[in-house]
Structure 1
Amino acid sequence: MSQPSLLNHTHLGEEFKIIEHTCPNCGHHELSIFYEVRNVPVHSCLMMPTQQEAIDFPCGDVVLGFCGNCGFITNVEFDSKWSAYAPNYEDQQSFSPTFNKFALDLANRLVEKYNLHDKDIVEIGCSKGDFLVLMCELGDNRGVGIDPSAVVGRVQSPVVDRIEFIQDYYSEKYADRVGDLICCRHTLEHIYPTAEFVGTVRSSIGERLDTSVFFEIPDMGRVLRDLAFEDIYYEHCSYFTPGSLGRLFRVSGFEVTEIYLAYGEQYLLIEAQPVSTLSQVIHHTEDSVEEIARDVRHFAANINAKLEKWKRDLLQWQAQGKRVVVWGSGSKCVAFLTTLDTKEQVQYIVDINPHRHGKFIPGVGQEIMSPEFLKEYQPDIVIVMNGIYCPEIQKMLDDMGVQTELKAI
């Protein structure tokens, strides 16, 4: 991508430190630093077998830089040597009825929109394979799933014999795996060289312009506006809004056909088609660099007040002798506890994923308990890491006879 004049560069303001750092999204050489969290676990979903291993887990720094050229946000301190995704990376969400409904609705929409019947689907970053299996079931399709954390046989289905799981990182060596749809969900935010990655996807497609592409990632616009610090952690080195995502796909050789938000407006989804000449079509939902800069300023100006309020609340509950539990042991939980540095104020963590039970949270050390544990413990406050799950959590608590106060972060 050719660089426009610096006259078009959007500066955040004199109070922000500008560093020389190449934007991995557009190649611009200046980023403005606006948020820092030091000494956080380099992985949030690698489950540790012992408490000591969890406490001793390697840590790194999150220092977010904003590119005034394309609006992209990245962790300038990210080190790819920590990208050690493996089968014990436990990010499976399909134990939640709320999430399963979303995944089913999404899969049905994609199958029907792109006529994915008896077709070939490639999923980059397929995790344990839930979504790929679903797409193959709904459309009688064939699948290839590429992910170093894949566990063959974790998801049981009659269609698994039509799916090839490759326990590896996606790269140009898998360029022959193209298919009729390339799907990539919650993976791009873990990739530091974003332009290189999306460029590899485009080059693998080549002249097969009928191949459709679908990506899903967290929406950074919501994080900035809602001060959602729990959604900022080390593995997520790349942060997009509709505008920065659309600009990346266009310069990589795609025409953006849809950009939209879903799942309580937490997720950012893009659909695109490969083109032979660079598209100039800008989707109406894309935000400008100036609009992203405004949200960055809002975040920087208000985040400390939110962090301080949570610290005060946790200390107050501790002083009152209240039993406080966090529901959800994934990345949001790790970011919540380590950013606030108040691990001592939360006694227990619970999670519905049985593959997490009895494991320990990296950098924190608390053991992950089953929700059944709460029947005996009877907490005073349950902090829910994602408010979209409150209805299903409340039902589980009611069914177990647990009377407590739910607080969604």
Structure 2
Amino acid sequence: MTRCRLCGSEAMASVVDLGATPPCESFLAADQLDQPEPAYPLHLRVCTDCWLAQIPPLITPEETFKEYAYFSSYSTSWVEHARTFVADAVQRLPLGPDAFVVEVASNDGYLLRHVVARGIRCLGIEPSVNVGAAAREAGVPTLTEFLDPATGSGVRADHGPADLVVANNVYAHIPDVVGFTRGLRALVADDGWVSIEVQHLLTLIEENQYDTIYHEHFQYYTVASAMRALASGGLALVDVELLPTHGGSIRLWARPAEAAGEPTRQVADVLAREKAAGLQELSGYTEFSVRVAKVRRDLLRFLVEAAERGETVVGYGAPGKGNTLLNHCGIRPDLLPYTVDRNPYKHGRFTPGTRIPILPPEQIAADKPDYVLVLPWNLRAELVEQLSFVHDWGGRLVFPIPDLSIVEVAS
């Protein structure tokens, strides 16, 4: 990567190099196991002019999202998060019976179903054919498209301007950040609101969350770099919320620049935290790769020593982030014979690169392993409760991030 995708600068500094891995959602069918599997460099750099952290756009969104393995509704806590957001937004803005809500990257309708239930007109824009079909089956109007300025203008012409545009966990997923932001501006009314949730680079670095670096995530935002990205499309940040989701996220409340007014005190407070952490100078990034290497060593040491003691370790979950971790650590079925997932789409498939089988969750109770390695560590509270049954045979849970921890669960 020679130029920043936001400001065009060539002043790019290395943050962490994770080697080469396959795309994290390219799960393999059994008949693909003897076929070649492409892998791409996974090297995070930061622009020292605008401080946007980013990886090279080596795969296109079209390659990733036309057929997608992630269905948001399989996470109970994420559906509840969406329900709460809708309830709060209806009060905050407010959204009356004549309002129009658009969600970009609306997945299987996990959020807009709550808008539909309130009788508010809405539309999802979702590029993945399979999950968009699931949303329509659930009664959520959904357009199968990628967002760009032309799509945004077309939706506005057909449906009118949106009072609220929601873009949760997609602002990192698009290499053309300027074009996407202009698409958001095309969708939203001149006095409307845009709500964006995206992982916070501050917590990613502070909490060693390096497994959230993968090819679908082209950029990694601080509030400071997000403000610059929003401005590129004519939007201005008004408020920010710090969220626990995905290990630490930011919810950005933006408006068209001409209607925005002054940002809240919370914006200034988070900017000050980022500056104090050194994220607007190279000093805030230099030790990250050292701490990443320790996560890898600690997890491998645990798995090898457990195998030598004759103890069994299986995985729980097959999230995209888990595939970054598995590939970076070089974990294969000899150390992790399988993982399980609630999503039936993944059953019978294999993790990309590491070729670990993915089975239904019931396999854990059938096998009674000594340890369960939890790959979606960001759902810790939810999964400690879901997996409490491993206590019945003395099993324990293992969380690899931010550092290795072994948890005794209560029955």
Q: TM-score range by the shorter chain?
A: 0.7 to 0.9
Partner of 2:406: none
Matching of residue 339 in structure 1 with residue 332 in structure 2: no
Partner of 1:179: 162
Q: Which runs of 5+ in 1 are unaligned?
A: 1-19
**Preserved contact between residue 126 and residue 132 of structure 2 (Cα < 8 Å):** no
Distance in 2 (CA, whole Å) between partners of 1:157 and 1:88 is 17
**Preserved contact between residue 133 and residue 157 of structure 1 (Cα < 8 Å):** no
**Preserved contact between residue 181 and residue 232 of structure 2 (Cα < 8 Å):** no
Partner of 1:4: none
Larger mean Cα displacement after TM superposition, 195-204 or 279-288: 279-288
Partner of 1:108: 87
Larger mean Cα displacement after TM superposition, 346-355 or 192-201: 192-201
Structure 2 SS opposite 1:127: coil
Distance in 2 (CA, whole Å) between partners of 1:395 and 1:233 is 28
RMSD: 2.6
Q: Measure how far apart 1:346 and its partner are.
A: 0.9
Distance in 2 (CA, whole Å) between partners of 1:203 and 1:35 is 36
**Preserved contact between residue 69 and residue 289 of structure 1 (Cα < 8 Å):** no
Q: Would the alpha carbon gap of residues 279 and 364 (structure 1) be closer, same or farther in structure 2, given more than 3 Å must change?
A: farther
Structure 2 SS opposite 1:209: strand
Q: Measure how far apart 1:212 and its partner are.
A: 0.8
- Which residue, 260, 264, 268 being the options, matches 2:250? 268
Matching of residue 407 in structure 1 with residue 386 in structure 2: no
Distance in 1 (CA, whole Å) between partners of 2:386 and 2:259 is 53
Q: Which runs of 5+ in 2 are unaligned?
A: 156-160, 401-411
Partner of 1:45: 25
1:351-370 correspondence to structure 2 within 5 Å? 351-370=341-360
Distance in 1 (CA, whole Å) between partners of 2:96 and 2:183 is 26
Structure 2 SS opposite 1:217: strand
Matching of residue 142 in structure 1 with residue 133 in structure 2: no
Larger mean Cα displacement after TM superposition, 191-200 or 222-231: 191-200
Partner of 2:178: 195
Q: How many residues align?
A: 382
Distance in 1 (CA, whole Å) between partners of 2:115 and 2:96 is 9
**Preserved contact between residue 33 and residue 64 of structure 1 (Cα < 8 Å):** yes
Q: Would the alpha carbon gap of residues 327 and 342 (structure 1) be closer, same or farther in structure 2, given more than 3 Å must change?
A: same
Distance in 1 (CA, whole Å) between partners of 2:276 and 2:9 is 13
Q: Would the alpha carbon gap of residues 342 and 152 (structure 1) be closer, same or farther in structure 2, given more than 3 Å must change?
A: closer
Distance in 2 (CA, whole Å) between partners of 1:359 and 1:148 is 23
Q: Would the alpha carbon gap of residues 155 and 325 (structure 1) be closer, same or farther in structure 2, given more than 3 Å must change?
A: same
Q: Measure how far apart 1:290 and its partner are.
A: 7.4
Partner of 1:312: 301
Structure 2 SS opposite 1:58: coil
User: Which residue identity is paired with 2:235?
Assistant: F
Larger mean Cα displacement after TM superposition, 88-97 or 364-373: 88-97
With the length of structure 2 as denominator, give the TM-score of the two structures: 0.84
Q: Would the alpha carbon gap of residues 89 and 324 (structure 1) be closer, same or farther in structure 2, given more than 3 Å must change?
A: same
Q: Which has the higher contact order (CA 8 A, sep 6+)?
A: 1
Q: Measure how far apart 1:157 and its partner are.
A: 7.5
Distance in 1 (CA, whole Å) between partners of 2:80 and 2:142 is 24
Q: Would the alpha carbon gap of residues 116 and 359 (structure 1) be closer, same or farther in structure 2, given more than 3 Å must change?
A: farther
Distance in 1 (CA, whole Å) between partners of 2:260 and 2:13 is 29
Alpha-carbon displacement from aligned partner over 1:62-103 (angstroms, at most 9, x marks no partner):
111111122110113x32446413464121232233222222
With the length of structure 1 as denominator, give the TM-score of the two structures: 0.85
User: Which residue identity is paired with 2:150?
Assistant: K
Q: Measure how far apart 1:152 and its partner are.
A: 4.5
Partner of 1:16: none
Q: Measure how far apart 1:156 and its partner are.
A: 7.5
Distance in 2 (CA, whole Å) between partners of 1:70 and 1:238 is 12
Distance in 1 (CA, whole Å) between partners of 2:61 and 2:134 is 25
Q: Would the alpha carbon gap of residues 321 and 156 (structure 1) be closer, same or farther in structure 2, given more than 3 Å must change?
A: farther
Percentage of matched positions with identical amino acids: 20
